[in-house]
């Protein structure tokens, strides 16, 4: 068993599940979405991106691209979350919808990353 692949798979899967946990719920209800979970999804996604930097294969480039997309979307979502929480009006349904939508885009990128990882495993087994 390759420990590097285990750690890589762990962080990709953790990024996906944390992002899914934040994303699930009504899109415009702030009570359904936890800011700490968004922050955790962002941190784990950045760690997963760093782990992908050493792979010099074509598939590694796709892994990195999907991870960068997820990072960017989660960073913007976190920025909107922070700005909305500091504004006098607080969280509006519109603000929460933007954050959750951005998280949904990152979720799709995370799903694609996991699919790429599984396809890589299937190719190696053949």
- Burial environment of residue 116 by CB neighbours within 10 A (0 to 12, 13 to 18, 19 or more): middle
- Cα separation of 87 and 90, whole Å? 5
Q: What is the pTM of this model?
A: 0.91
Chain segment 63-116, per-residue pLDDT in tens: 999 999 999 999 999 999 999 988 877 788 999 999 999 999 999 999 999 999
Sorted by where each begins, the domain ranges of the chain are 3-125
Most distant CA atoms of the chain, gap in Å:
58
CB–CB of 74/106 below 8 Å? yes
């Amino acid at each position: 068993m390759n420990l590097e692949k285990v750690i890589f798979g762990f962080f990709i899967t953790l990024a996906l599940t944390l992002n899914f946990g934040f994303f699930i719920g009504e899109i415009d209800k702030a009570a359904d979405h936890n800011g700490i979970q968004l922050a955790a999804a962002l941190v784990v996604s950045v760690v997963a991106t760093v782990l992908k930097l050493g792979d010099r294969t074509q598939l590694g480039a796709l892994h990195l691209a999907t991870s960068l997309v997820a990072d960017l979307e989660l960073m913007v979502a976190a920025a909107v979350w922070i700005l909305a929480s500091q504004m006098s009006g607080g969280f509006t349904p519109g603000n929460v919808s933007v954050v959750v939508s951005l998280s949904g885009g990152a979720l799709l990128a995370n799903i694609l990353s996991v699919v790429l990882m599984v396809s890589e495993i299937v190719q190696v087994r053949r």
